[in-house]
Amino acid sequence: MELQDLRNRIDDLDDQLLNVLNERMELVKKVGELKRSSQSIIYRPEREKQILDRLEKRNNGLLTRQAIDAIFFEIFAVSRNLELPERVSYLGPEGSFTHQAAEGRFGGMSEYLVLPTIHSVFESVETGRAKFGVVPIENNQEGIVIETVDFLREKNLSIVAEILLQVHFTFASQSDSLKDIKRIYSKDIAFRQCGKFISEYLEGMGIELIPVDSTSKAAKLAGQEVDSAAICSSISARLFGVPILFDNIEDSDQNRTRFLILAKDFANIKSGDDKTTIIANLPNTNRPGVLYEFLKDFNDRGINLTKIESRPMRGEAAFRAWFLVEFLGHIDDEPVKEIMHKYGTHLKWLGSYVRIS
Ligand SMILES: C=C(O[C@@H]1C=C(C(=O)O)C=C[C@H]1O)C(=O)O
């Protein structure tokens, strides 16, 4: 078939797609009206998951699950904006991995509020300046993001969903020869995560490694100086127009960051494959076995714990800790309810949401 024939057929299909999408939007609009009249929540991650799972099962074409997710997350985001535009804040700067995570879930059309600190993201959601906030919570090579964990306890926000992002770093510079590069900008954590690339390609060349606040700031600087380079995300290299010389330069291809979407007073309906996050301020009984007994309650009920992170009780002279605890299951599951009831105000429920990781 000739190129023009193929393109004509693509045009026909696009016409059909456009009609079907418009038809879908009509239905979404009606759902929006129903939700508004019953004051219910617009964003339903568990419904979106159900749609994606169903499509994956039905799929017999070239599209991978990842591709289906990417296309449909965009459709969902456009739909939600039609139901009610909702602003999303995220930990910036633009081009950060959190930006990438937020856009992956809320699409290119949402209104974004770029904020400089994790604290300001929490605050924007608390004050209602944004409906949703996106923050990192952990990296599987570097561990927990302490600021996020501490604000989860301090503030009164709910976890709506989690996002998992595979972290890839690129080496970007306006110079096309490594010999001409005098300095590399990046975040200290990124220098660490790309140690092998740096020692194999750049050692002994007298190149200075300069840590800056964010990888997108690194990209911005590398865009202003021809003899500099940045180790940054591909999204920020593109944002600042710095050519990418090497892609995926991280030591480990297992490098993933987990992000949380936060909102005020949000509760998901059970999806059947959920995760729950709670804060445990266990009773200060001064007897052995308090933590052991708490964990045993999960074990006895066959609840799979996925994380326990210990943090200090600030403002006390004693060395006491509180815990961020995550497990598989939903707050409406009977065994989970039992534990919540047993410990009462010692536990704070942050959310039950569709499990991704
Ligand atoms: C249309 C709805 O609202 C939102 C949009 C969805 C969609 O586009 O299919 C799905 C879930 C919600 O996040 C719905 O709840 O069904």
Helix (H, G, I), strand (E, B) or coil at 156: coil
- Per-residue model confidence (pLDDT) at position 285: 67
ipTM of the modeled complex? 0.96
Residue nearest to atom 15 of ligand 1 (CA): 44
pLDDT digits (tens, 9 = 90+) for 263-272: 999 999 999 9
Test site for ligand 1: of 22, 35, 39, 47, most ligand atoms within 8 A of the Cβ: 47
301: three-class secondary structure by DSSP: coil
Q: Which atom of ligand 1 is nearest to the CA of 79?
A: 8
Where do runs of H (alpha helix) occur along 107-214?
A: 118-126, 146-154, 188-193, 195-201
Which phi and psi angles does 124 have, rounded to 5°? Answer: -65, -35
Question: Taking a C-beta distance cutoff of 8 angstroms, is the pair 230, 315 a contact?
Answer: no
> How far, in Å, from the CA of 27 to the mean position of ligand 1?
10
Domain parsing of the chain, residue ranges: 3-167+256-263, 170-246, 274-354
| Distance from residue 1's CA to the centre of ligand 1 (Å) | 39
- Minimum CA distance residue for ligand 1 atom 9: 76
CATH for 3-167+256-263 (3.40.190.10, 3.10.620.30, 3.20.20.10, 3.20.20.100): 3.40.190.10
| Fold of the 170-246 domain | D-Maltodextrin-Binding Protein; domain 2 (3.40.190)
Taking 50 as the pLDDT cut, the residues of the chain under it are: none
Question: Hey, do 3-167+256-263 and 170-246 end up sharing a CATH topology, with the first three levels equal?
Answer: yes
Instruction: Give 29-48 pLDDT, tens digit per residue.
Output: 999 999 989 888 899 999 99
Question: In a mutational test of the pocket of ligand 1, which residue from 21, 48, 86 has the highest number of ligand atoms less than 8 Å from its CB?
Answer: 48
Read out DSSP for 235-277? Answer: HHHHHTTPPEEES---S-TT-EEEEEEEESS--PPP-SSEEEE
Name the CATH superfamily housing domain 274-354.
ACT domain (3.30.70.260)
Distance from Cα 45 to the centre of ligand 1, integer Å:
8
Name residue 88's amino acid: V
Calpha distance 264→160 (Å, rounded): 9
